[in-house]
Amino acid sequence: MAVWDWFLSLFNKDTGSLDLDAWTGEIAGEIFFKELAVQASINLIANAVSRSKFRTYEKGEEVKKNNHYLFNVEPNPNKSANKFWRDIISRLVYDNECLVVQQGQSLYVADDFAVERFAFRPYVYHDIVIDDYQLSNTYIEPDVFHFELHNDKIRNLIEGLNGSYSKLIAISQQNYKRNNSRRGKLKIETKYSQKLKDQESLEDVFKDKFKRFFEAENGAILPLPDGLDYEDLQSNIGTKGGADNNAIRSFIDDIFDFVAIAFQIPPQLLKGEVADTGDIVDNFLTFCINPLAENLEDEINRKYYGRESYLNKTYIRIDTSMIKAVNIEKVANALDILTRVGAFTIDDSLETLGMQPLETEWSQVRWMTKNYEKVQDRINNGGD
C-alpha cells in the first residue's frame, strides 16, 4: 500500500478526523470496577466476621477448650482462624455456597466439590478438592459444614448488571478521550514529492515524530519537512471532559451501590464515606453481619454439636458485639447500668472494652443494686 493510501485509511470516513489512538495506542477495554466492588464487599464482611468471637458453651456455661481454640484461633495447621473465615466468606460470595470438611481435629475449606441431592435422605458429597488434592472419601450431609448464602447466585445478578454498566462506562470513557484529545490540521502540498526517500520521510513523520509529539508531557517541538504545515487546535480540549468525567464517576458509584445493596451493606460504608458511621455500622451489623453469623452458627450447631447437646445448652454462639469499635466515654454509663442490674460481670465489661478479663472469682461475680425490688413484693407491701 502506498504511504498516501495508508495515511488516508487512518481517517474517520464520516467526520474526516484522525483518532489520536492511531498514535498513542488504545486504552485497555476491561472494566474492573465491579470486581473492585465485590472484593471490597468481601473484605468488609470478612473483616467483621473475623472480629467476631465464637463463644463455646457446655451446659449453659461458657468454656474455653479445644472447640474454642478451633473456631477462634487455628481451624487447621495451615491457616489461622482469620484466614479460614475469610476463605469461607469469599466462597460464599463468589459461589453462593462453601463446603468445610473435618479431618481429625481440623477443619478445611474445599476448593471444589460435587454434590448429589436427594429429597428424603442426606446429600452426598464427593470429588472434594482441598489445595489441589482430591479426596477419595465420600461424605454425607451430617459429616460436613455446607454453608449457603442465598437461594439465587447473587454473583450472576451482579454480572448481568455489570454487563450493562460496563458498556455505559466504556462509552463515557471514549467520549472523555475524544473530548480531551489533542486535535490538529496537517496541510500537505499537492505537489509534495513522490520520491521514495521523501515518502519514507513522510511515513517517519506519521509513525514517529507525531507520536512523540502527542505523548510529550511537557513542551515539545515538532520538526516538519518542507511541504508540511501542522496547526494545533487546542481550543477543543476539555470543553466536555468535565461532564464525561462526572458521568463515568456516576456509573462507577451506581455499580458500588448495587453491589452493596446485593450484600445488604450500606453503600456509604462500602465506598468509605465516614460521615455518621455510627448508625451506618449499626445497620451493617443488623442487616448483613448478624444474619450471616446466625447462618454460620446454625450450621455449626446442628452438625458439630447436634440436637441433644444443643438442647442441653452445649453449643456455639457467634458474638458480633465485638465488631464495632468501643469508645469508653460513650459506653461508660451503659456499662454501669448493665453491671448494677446483674447483666454484666466486671470481666464482661473489660472484654467489651477490648481488655483482658481478670478471670478472678470476684471479677466474675454478678452484682445487683438495692434500688430494685420485685413488683410482687411492692404489691404485697401495699405499694402502688
User: What are the pLDDT digits (tens) for 32-73?
Assistant: 677 788 888 888 998 888 889 999 999 999 899 999 999 999
Full-model pTM:
0.67
In the numeric block, the cell 435422605 is attached to 121
pLDDT higher than 80, residue 267: yes
pLDDT higher than 90, residue 278: no
Higher pLDDT, 165 or 260: 260
**pLDDT for the residue 182:** 66
Distance CA 63, CA 130 (A): 31
- Orientation of helix 241-262 relative to helix 154-180, angle to 10°: 170
**pLDDT for the residue 187:** 72
Which segment of 3-7, 179-183, 250-254 scores lowest on mean pLDDT?
Answer: 3-7
Q: In what order do the strands lie in the sheet with 144-148?
A: 106-109, 97-103, 144-148
pLDDT mean over 282-290? 90
pLDDT higher than 80, residue 358: yes
**pLDDT for the residue 379:** 74
The cell for 201 is 520521510
Q: What percent of the chain has pLDDT over 90?
A: 30
Distance CA 141, CA 129 (A): 17
Whether residue 113 contacts residue 125, with contact meaning beta carbons closer than 8 Å, is answered with: yes
**pLDDT for the residue 144:** 96
**With b meaning 16 or more CB within 10 Å and e meaning fewer, what string describes 79-109?**
bebeebbbbbbbbbbeebebbbbbeeeebbb
User: What are the pLDDT digits (tens) for 223-262?
Assistant: 676 767 777 766 545 555 555 566 667 767 877 888 888 8
Higher pLDDT, 182 or 253: 253
Distance CA 290, CA 297 (A): 10
Higher pLDDT, 42 or 297: 297
pLDDT higher than 60, residue 384: no
User: What are the pLDDT digits (tens) for 306-319?
Assistant: 999 999 999 999 99
The cell for 337 is 447500668
Whether residue 12 contacts residue 21, with contact meaning beta carbons closer than 8 Å, is answered with: no
Assign 157 a pLDDT band (cuts: 50, 70, 90).
low
Helix (H) or strand (E) holding 187: strand 184-188
Assign 194 a pLDDT band (cuts: 50, 70, 90).
low
Higher pLDDT, 363 or 310: 310
Distance CA 115, CA 94 (A): 18
Higher pLDDT, 376 or 95: 95
The cell for 121 is 435422605
**pLDDT for the residue 315:** 96
Look over the chain and give the mean of its residue pLDDT values, rounded to a whole number: 78
Q: Please tell me what DSSP assigns to residue 79.
A: B
**pLDDT for the residue 171:** 56
pLDDT higher than 70, residue 374: yes
Question: In this structure, what are the phi and psi dihedrals at residue 103, rounded to the nearest 5 degrees?
Answer: -120, 110
Q: Please tell me what DSSP assigns to residue 105.
A: T
Distance CA 374, CA 166 (A): 65
**pLDDT for the residue 80:** 94
The cell for 130 is 482441598
Please tell me the number of Cα atoms within 13 Å of 120 on its side-chain side: 0
- Orientation of helix 154-180 relative to helix 33-51, angle to 10°: 130
Whether residue 42 contacts residue 90, with contact meaning beta carbons closer than 8 Å, is answered with: yes
pLDDT higher than 50, residue 3: no
Which segment of 78-87, 116-125, 171-180 scores lowest on mean pLDDT?
Answer: 171-180
Q: What is the identity of the amino acid at 362?
A: W
**pLDDT for the residue 322:** 80
Strand positions, DSSP E, 21-143: 53-58, 61-63, 97-103, 106-109, 112-116, 124-130, 133-134, 139-140
pLDDT higher than 90, residue 152: no
Per the DSSP assignment, residues forming a β-bridge with 58 are 61
CA torsion sign for 128, 133, 138, 140 is: negative
The cell for 309 is 447437646
pLDDT higher than 50, residue 215: yes
Whether residue 181 contacts residue 237, with contact meaning beta carbons closer than 8 Å, is answered with: yes
The cell for 225 is 519537512
**pLDDT for the residue 18:** 46
User: What are the pLDDT digits (tens) for 318-345?
Assistant: 999 888 777 777 778 888 888 888 888 8
